Amino acid sequence: MKKLLGTVSYLSAIASISVMASFGAHAQSAQVEAKTSGFYVGGNYGYLRVEGEDDFDDDKDVWQGIAGYKFNEWIAIEGSYIDFGDYGSDLAGAETDGYTAAVKGILPLTERFSLYAKLGQLWSETEYNLGGFSQENDDESLFVGAGLSYAITSNFLVNAEYTVYDTELDADEAFDDIDDTDFETDLKQASIGVEYRF
């Protein structure tokens, strides 16, 4: 009987060690570290808040395609094409798209999570429509953004981001001969996105 109990205890100990080893191996395989340098591409889709004069206040979708390069785990440069869509009303509206360039600072929190912040420049083109008249105007403005990144694999990440563009979409620049067209507007973007690192 003592021999049987000893054998059972021995087998239980081996089973326990096997389970613990298996769990440890699974935990290690679950650990992912995003690539710390190299090229990456991605895209964002989100919500755009247009804040300005009443005729231009609106909420719209925004699309953004991104390409960048990470020098190390803390610093990257990034460029994008962004489509802010059209906003406003049939009487007074606008449609904006443009290109950005930014410096991105990254703060790793864990192997999977990191915070980041961006500071950059937006070159945009806006087509204004006022009372049946349309005109285009180019603009340059600064923007700041911040976000949280989660690494699903070493190459594939998902992001949540908030960006404010200090854009002055001023219809006075496009319509010199029309009064009361001072529609200065800020663009605020909240989006989710994906990123693939090569």
- pLDDT tens digits, residue range 31-48? 677 788 999 999 999 998
Of the ranges 1-10, 17-26, 93-102, which is most confident?
Answer: 93-102
- pLDDT tens digits, residue range 129-178? 777 778 888 889 999 999 999 999 999 999 999 999 987 655 555 555 54
Is there a contact between 135 and 175 (Cβ–Cβ < 8 Å)? yes
Residue 35 CA to residue 196 CA, distance in Å, equals 10
pTM of the model: 0.73
- pLDDT tens digits, residue range 100-132? 999 999 999 999 999 999 999 999 998 887 777
Confidence at residue 17, expressed as pLDDT on a 0 to 100 scale: 40
Task: Kindly tell me if the per-residue pLDDT of 16 is higher than 50.
Answer: no
Of residues 75 and 133, the one with the higher pLDDT is: 75
- pLDDT tens digits, residue range 177-195? 545 455 556 789 999 999 9
Average pLDDT over the chain, rounded to whole? 79
Q: Count CA atoms within 13 Å of residue 134 on its CB side.
A: 7
Cα–Cα nearest to 135, from 125, 149, 121? 125
pLDDT band at residue 58 using 50, 70 and 90 as cut-offs: low
- Computed over its alpha carbons, how large is the radius of gyration of the chain? 26
Query: What are residue 118's phi and psi, to 5 degrees?
Result: -125, 145
Residue 76 CA to residue 37 CA, distance in Å, equals 8
Of residues 80 and 179, the one with the higher pLDDT is: 80
Confidence at residue 2, expressed as pLDDT on a 0 to 100 scale: 46
Please give the structure tokens belonging to residue 96: 């904006």
Residue 134 CA to residue 127 CA, distance in Å, equals 7
Residue 9 CA to residue 140 CA, distance in Å, equals 75
